[in-house]
Chain A
Amino acid sequence: MWPKAVTVLALGAAAVATWALVALIERPIEWLAIASDQPQLPGWVAHALTTLFVYYAASVLVPFFLFVGWRTLANTGPTAPRAAPFVSIIIPAFDEEPHIANAIDAALDQDYPSYEVIIIDDGSSDFTKYVADRYDVVRLIALRANLGKAHALNAGLAQAMGSIVVCSDSDSALARDALKHLVAHFADPAVGAMAGTVEIPDPRSFAQRLQSIEYIYGQNLLKLAQLGSGSSVAVCPGPISAFRRTALLQIGGFTDRTLTEDFDATLELIRHGFAVGFDPRAVASTSAPSTWQLLVKQRMRWSRGALQTMRLYKALLLSRTFGALGLFWLPYFLFIGYGGVILDALLIGILPLLAWSSENAGAMVAGGAVCFLALELLSGVQFATAIVLAGRASPRTMCDAWLMKPFTILLAGVRLAAMFREFKGHHRSW
């Protein structure tokens, strides 16, 4: 649909826009540098500050325009299955009494002719098992002890009869046509796994609203850009991912060696030569953490898991064998996603320090505010663009898009803590 020339033009325009925006950002920085004109602030400090800001802005903007460009190239592939192979839906559950019925109801209501639903009760201490047991069409596997999600998934995998296995979460609900869209892609034997879209259907708390925007950005922009770049997507999210059963057996199922078994399994499949696709139409609604404490806990697990996984798959990093994934995406996640956090911390840490050490504290604070305002605007425009592209624009989401900068700063803090813990733990384990 998009002529190649349009894409090339768009990428060119993106480069020019990046350049212009960076030039624009440099102005407040210049202003900040004026404010820092104190005898005790040597020239190189001002120099370093400017450089830091420019790199920061560039590290935000260049990928963003690249993503928007790649997104236009994304081909989401077939929309309907060519056949209706038997599918197994595996839902591991641990102490999910309030949500499990919802998850099972949604799984049983699929617009798909032949599938089974397997619930694995991972040694819950509540009534999860009994709720699941009331559905006689559902196969319930009750594990006696809580061995973790990877074990539960493997137990389900061992019982699954379908040639395609769809994994979901007990706190998520698959949309009615999720199976149909996911299965459609397995007609291509190269596909080993498919990721779907995770949504927060009805965000109630403020934390959930911001997360829902983050999800929109991460999936509708980032994942589509991954597809558009001709790469496999890097993660099949827990709430909705489909695997070819034989492929999953070939990699030995899921493992609990990292905190994020989904990321681990995806990369393992990719390493075994399978393609991992993404269908934005296959949707699962999940109940995201509603409080900040829970969110921080969840993100700590994700961040640590991601670091653990990337350490395991460092061979994929910068490896040409895996195309854009190895050459761009994994390095991007590691160096910008996690390395950028250090830059974040530097920026946020340096300003109060400078303000404190400077004679002209008021001007420094004002300069810092201007810089942050510029970065905030960049972030707002990015998220707003992602929301509009995803077709989710509403007054509320458009307003929330402008609050994403503080939110990402919070997440950056969590990532930093995760990195700290990981490196510390890593050394201790040696």
Chain B
Amino acid sequence: MVSLAGRLNALSRVAVLVAAVVCIGAGLTSRVYGQQPGKRAPLVLLTFDTEMDEDVRAIRDLGVDVPVTYFITGEFAQRNGRLVRQLAERNSIGSHGYSHGNLKEMDRDQMRKELTLQKVVLEREVGRPIRWFRAPYLEYDEEVMRTLEELGFEYDSSDTERWIRNTILTELPITQTSSGMMSDYDIFVERSLSGDAALSYLKEAYDQRAAAGRAFVVLLHPRIIAAHRQVLHGLIEHIRATGAEFVSVDQYVAATRSATPRRTGVWIDLSLGAHDPAQTAADLRAARMDEAFLSANDPSGIDYYGSVTSKLGGEQDAFGRMQKLLKAAGLKVHAWISVNKNLRLAKLRPDLAMHKQNGTASTAWISPSQAEVRQHVLRTVAAILENYEIDGIHLDYIRYPSLNYDFNPAAIERYEAEVGLASVSADDLLSSRHYTSWVDWRAREIASLVAEVRRLVKDKRGEAVVVSAALVADAALSYRAMEGYGQSYPLLAGSLDLILPMAYFQLERKPVEWIADVNFISRYWTGSGKAVLTGLQGYQKPGAFTLDPVTFHRMLEVAAPGTDGLVFYPYLYLFGRGEPSHNLEIDAARTIAAIKTASPAVATVAPVQQPVPARPDANPSAPGPSERSSSGGIGPWWLIAWVVAATGISAGAVLWLLWSRRERQPGLRSSRGGGDAVETDANGPLADWRQLNQSIQLGSVSGQVCVQVSRILRNHGPRGIDKNRLLYTLFLVKRSDGALASFLDAVRSVPGWQQLGLRNLQEATMLRLVLQEGISFGMTPAGEEELQRAIDAGFDPEFWEFVEGRMHETLAIDCPHCGTGNLSNWYWDSFECRSCRATVALHRVERIRCGILDVPADAAILVH
């Protein structure tokens, strides 16, 4: 228990520390960078969850005189119809369920019934469609949201700012700062703050939001806040004093959606293929575009600009030439640089790369925690500012690829320093112990890098140069994506003048209406003082998605309300000047020029079919959008796989060729199937064995002799040898004259006959050629006859002794090719050298040593 308590204590200490740092950090950023010229006052939304009968009185007692929002349960509306109708006159009404039961705990049918009922009841009482919802206890699941969507709800306000997860209805989260959620239940019931403390808590949170120009959404319950009436009035007074505006949710939507795209722009991605600067400038002028985001480097680290100063201003400087022409055409040119994704640097300096949890370095992403990486980014920005008259710095890839990054030692060190722990193991960081503080720290780490860039830009060029960034839309819509990418819109907004959420709906496999959600939530995060330019897809991807002219216009229609501008990716495909399969089939100049003139009526511009000029020189495997999902790195691996395959196959082919050449040389291949008798003599008459025997007795013979002996032995073949052996056995039986002992002696004197003699005797006995019964042993008449017939036919026992002797004699032959000594036997007229593997015919050998008696194979002594 003690250790548990200790751990909790430590945890809370960490939490307090983190909270403090967050406060200071947020305060600093808002103070230093939050002051925007021409900033509009923030919008304040007071929302009342109304479900109990005490609330009737509380609402009357409170006497709130600003537009607010009531989320009302169906039951309450049924019982207090008059009050609800009264409230609906000035305020927005949303639904809060029917019975205020926990929707997550209901079964499906009950939940559906509950949601249907509340909508019907409320709409009957209020007399207009109910589009807003807030879940009782803020508890819901996907099924609930789907049902609400089916029922015609459009907006929800059940998430808190830090934990947005609803992606089905458009979400307006409840404000939550590092110190807590803006909820009277939290303040008075859970934390039991006093009135003064509660007021200063709310005021502080509001100030923080107001400084950023962001909306302030407070969750209240009439019956709770009525007990602390002075707090609410104090807050309202404070807010009024700052000039902010109180709005209901419907007014908020109207205000948010009122923005129209006054600016249009395009990303010019020089890595997609050849760009003609003059034509580009002409195209953009024709389209009446304002902003050009021109790639100063590309994510693969091949710098069109960057630190390679030798390229500046020269023929190679594609960026410089394009920038001058665009500028001359009246566009604002932003130098578009990739921050955390830099393949070249990551490969060059793996120590600067982001690390995965298992410690391996990324090959694409560089760690924002490394001082050198920050210097590199800042140096790049500084060089751009010095060398070009640009209007903005546009940052891309300011994020982590996923939660699996960044575990670079420098990152862990910096995190340790911040949480004040001595050594944090990388394996622990995603555990519940560190998770929240770790992901929050990551987001701040990214934000601080952007803040440094901003400071540099403003120091050098002041307000003349704006800082903008392309952000992942999902990071705004879901806290999971925010945590994964470490890309926090509110933290980044402080350092940015322009925010460009990339709403590539087809790439993200979302319906086109999703873009409206991206606009809505981006505005919530960035506040009223910043310009939000929605990034739109200006290309199609064969095999993945096609963006036909009708869909394109629908996209413009959805994207236009609630954004300050539309920016398309990429120029090349949007204007049909890239790879035909990627190009859009629209009259880009006309369509885009029309956006600003007739902003809300974009849809009236008819899609125009226009022949697309073919561009054979364009890069056929052009990459897609500027920001791709982390799985986009398949290219290199296929390349490696193919290189390996090609190497393997060509190595195989070369080996094979070598081998087939080798095969033509004699004897190098292991012999398969009868490999004997190469180049033997013709079938001449057999030599006289007695003459041969004489030369053999000398202990050394010529190869010719060996071949002749071999021919004699082979003349009989295995069957002939068997037969002659039987005859020879009969001969021995006859010679031993009835004495078994002398027969056995005779057998032993024949090499290799110890067993053969007995076997042949047995066979002769079975054939009734020899009689062996008790002590009697001798030839039968049939045996006598058989032997006599054989001798008459030419069987010569002496010759057979010669044959048996040769069968068990070893020849020693030196290989004529390599000189290695080999052993063989008379039976074979060729041999394969054990060293050089050549098959040698014996008649080619001059001298062969013979007469070496082979030791019986069974003998248990070693012979060398």
Contact = CB atoms under 8 A, between A and B. Distances in A.
A176 B673 contact: yes
Given A1-B835, A43-B427, A31 B752 contact: no
B403 interface: yes
A415 interface: no
Given A30-B360, A84-B825, A86-B755, A244 B663 contact: no
A67 B725 CA distance: 47
Interface stretch (B183-191, B373-381, B715-723): B715-723
A50 to B, nearest CB: 6
B857 A164 contact: yes
Interface stretch (B19-27, B214-222, B299-307, B654-662): B654-662
B423 interface: no
Nearest to B861: A189
B308 interface: no
A366 interface: yes
Interface in B190-233: none
Contacts of A357: none
A180 B839 CA distance: 14
B357 A31 contact: no
B824 A80 contact: yes
B358 interface: yes
B403 A37 contact: yes
B495 to A, nearest CB: 27
B407 to A, nearest CB: 8
Contact of B831 (A80, A187, A388): A80
- Counting chain B CB atoms within 10 Å of each CB, the highest count among A83, A114, A163, A374 belongs to A83
A39 to B, nearest CB: 6
B706 interface: no
B697 interface: no
A28 B633 CA distance: 10
B358 A373 contact: no
B756 interface: yes
A33 B857 contact: no
A244 B858 contact: yes
A388 B655 CA distance: 7
Interface stretch (B113-121, B635-643, B685-693, B790-798): B635-643
A205 to B, nearest CB: 22
B641 A370 contact: yes
A43 B824 contact: no
Given A24-B640, A370-B638, A163 B858 contact: yes
B358 A50 contact: yes
A227 to B, nearest CB: 14
A113 interface: yes
A189 B857 CA distance: 7
Interface residues of A, number: 75
Contact of A79 (B356, B480, B832): B832
B640 A177 contact: no
Nearest to A77: B834
- Counting chain B CB atoms within 10 Å of each CB, the highest count among A39, A110, A116, A398 belongs to A39
Interface string A1-27: 100000000000000000000001011
Contact of A84 (B404, B673, B808): B808
Nearest to A395: B656
A370 B825 contact: no
A391 B655 contact: no
A289 interface: no
B630 A246 contact: no
Nearest to B752: A85
B460 interface: no
A82 B810 contact: yes
A31 B854 contact: no
Nearest to A371: B637
B652 A398 contact: yes
Nearest to B755: A161
B175 interface: no
Interface string A100-130: 0000000010111111100000000000000
B828 to A, nearest CB: 6
Nearest to B483: A39
Interface in A127-186: 137, 161-164, 175-177, 180, 186
Given A78-B834, A380-B648, A84 B807 contact: yes
Interface string A355-387: 000001011001000100110010011001100
B637 A370 contact: yes
Nearest to B719: A137
A165 to B, nearest CB: 12
B765 interface: no
Given A37-B630, A44-B427, A86 B752 contact: yes
- Counting chain A CB atoms within 10 Å of each CB, the highest count among B631, B810, B861 belongs to B631
Contact of A46 (B357, B808, B825, B836): B357
B714 to A, nearest CB: 8
B854 A187 contact: yes
Contacts of A39: 403, 480, 483-484
A112 B644 contact: no
Contacts of A388: 652, 655-656, 659
A203 interface: no
A31 B835 CA distance: 50
B672 interface: yes
Interface in A273-300: 280-281, 283
A34 interface: yes
- Counting chain A CB atoms within 10 Å of each CB, the highest count among B430, B634, B861, B862 belongs to B634
Contacts of A26: 360
Contacts of A35: 631
Contact of B670 (A33, A111, A373, A391): A391
Contact of B404 (A27, A37, A110, A114): A37
A83 B401 contact: no
B402 interface: yes
Contact of A366 (B357, B634, B714, B809): B634
B768 interface: no
A186 B484 CA distance: 71
Contact of B430 (A42, A76, A115): A42
B863 interface: yes
Given A80-B831, A84-B807, A46 B634 contact: no
A47 interface: yes
A381 B142 CA distance: 51
Given A46-B356, A163-B857, A380-B648, A82 B656 contact: no
Nearest to B808: A83
Given A113-B827, A388-B655, A388-B656, A37 B401 contact: yes
- Counting chain A CB atoms within 10 Å of each CB, the highest count among B427, B810, B823 belongs to B823
B755 A163 contact: yes
Contacts of B808: 83-85
B822 A80 contact: yes
B671 interface: yes
Given A44-B427, A80-B822, A384-B652, A244 B404 contact: no
Given A31-B633, A86-B756, 19 more contacts: A26-B360, A30-B360, A37-B630, A42-B430, A44-B427, A78-B822, A78-B834, A79-B834, A82-B810, A83-B751, A83-B857, A163-B857, A176-B673, A177-B675, A190-B862, A281-B670, A281-B671, A388-B655, A391-B662
8 contacts: A1-B835, A37-B403, A43-B427, A80-B822, A82-B824, A111-B828, A370-B638, A384-B655
6 closest Cβ pairs, A-B complex: A43-B357, A83-B854, A37-B402, A363-B631, A82-B810, A176-B674
Interface of B: 356-358, 360, 363, 401-404, 426-427, 430, 480, 483-484, 629-631, 633-634, 637-638, 640-641, 644-645, 648, 651-652, 655-656, 659-660, 662-663, 669-676, 713-714, 718-719, 721-722, 725, 751-752, 755-756, 759, 807-810, 822-825, 827-828, 831-836, 854, 856-863
Interface of A: 1, 24, 26-28, 30-31, 33-35, 37-39, 42-44, 46-47, 50, 76-86, 108, 110-116, 137, 161-164, 175-177, 180, 186-190, 199, 244, 246, 280-281, 283, 360, 362-363, 366, 370, 373-374, 377, 380-381, 384-385, 388, 391, 393, 398, 401
